[in-house]
Amino acid sequence: MTTQLNELNAYKCFDGWCRFFEHDATSTKSKMRFSVYLPPQHEGWQVPVLYWLSGLTCTEENFMIKAGAQRFAAEHGVMLVVPDTSPRGEGVHDEPERYDIGSGAGFYVNATRDPWAPNYRMYDYVVQELPAIIHEHFHALPNASGIFGHSMGGHGALMISLRNPGMFRSVSAFSPISAPSQVPWGQDAFREYLGNDEEAWAQYDTVSLLKKAEKPLPMLIDQGLSDEFLKNLLRVDLLEKVCKERGHQLTLNLHPRYGHSYYFVATFIGEHIAYHAERLRS
């Protein structure tokens, strides 16, 4: 099936192109937006694909504007793909007074509870629909995808890679919500989207998934120690603990004085893209 893409903007950037699109999405029954960075190598060759999942309040723009990732993607010849963080628009439910539920806060799950269930299907969008679109419309190298993200998107990247063994060759995260079932951000969202079924929550919870995972991908995680959300909402300590208990490979870099924002992401984005590129090109 061919998906019609409506191009909203295109910017020449580091010899490649940063492009923004909107399309009708079948999984979310809404318009969806995403951005791509096509490195210069994309002109003549298939290139590896690196999906970035953003955090709360973000759209498909924040990462492209703030992370400074294009320089490194151009250097390594990797395509970047950045979806919006939720469906939006006419007929899509929202709670405008909440920044952590609804628009900008899809949490990369398939909601099962009304009024969210018809549209809030970001898991299916990221796992199935978006990759199919990318392979249809761009020169994407088969079997050479990685995934990474920030905060809610760090949760999404880790959780999606754990639930789909073999789909990605590399995974990393900045400041991930490591155990959403155990912290208010995740609990509020999961209660709204999934109801009180804690079994359903566990299917979207990195720490729960790691308890049962056999040979997950090695994980690279960077975390600022002055991040205001670390202690009560991100809880990377719980992720570190389960990795130690189960012998999972984790490289956890802790950075004194760095916070939660894109100033932190921009500081270490080059290392993350190099990490993925090495695994995607081998």
Ligand X SMILES: N[C@@H](CCC(=O)N[C@@H](CS)C(=O)NCC(=O)O)C(=O)O
Query: Rule CB under 6 A: which residues touch ligand X?
Result: 55-58, 62, 66, 99, 150-152, 260-262
| In the complex, minimum distance from the CB of residue 238 to ligand X, in angstroms, rounded to a whole number | 18
- CA-based end-to-end distance of the chain: 31
| In the complex, minimum distance from the CB of residue 156 to ligand X, in angstroms, rounded to a whole number | 11
| In the complex, minimum distance from the CB of residue 177 to ligand X, in angstroms, rounded to a whole number | 8
Which CB, 235 or 248, lies closer to ligand X?
A: 235
Contact criterion met (CB below 8 Å) for 68 and 262: no
What token pair was written down for 264? 């932190």
Q: Which residues are catalytic?
A: 151, 227, 260
Which CB, 231 or 246, lies closer to ligand X?
A: 231
What token pair was written down for 18? 């940063």
| In the complex, minimum distance from the CB of residue 29 to ligand X, in angstroms, rounded to a whole number | 26
Contact criterion met (CB below 8 Å) for 144 and 134: no
Which CB, 41 or 86, lies closer to ligand X?
A: 86
DSSP 45: S
| In the complex, minimum distance from the CB of residue 56 to ligand X, in angstroms, rounded to a whole number | 4
Interatomic CA distance for residues 268 and 203, integer angstroms: 29
Residue with the CB atom nearest ligand X in the bound state: 55
Residues belonging to the chain: 282
User: Where on the phi/psi map is residue 22: left (φ > 0), alpha (ψ -120 to 50), or beta?
Assistant: beta
Q: Across the beta sheet with 170-174, what order do the strands follow?
A: 6-13, 16-25, 30-38, 79-83, 47-53, 140-150, 170-174, 219-224, 250-255
Which CB, 100 or 129, lies closer to ligand X?
A: 100
Which CB, 66 or 137, lies closer to ligand X?
A: 66
Alpha helices in 111-151 (DSSP H): 122-124, 130-137
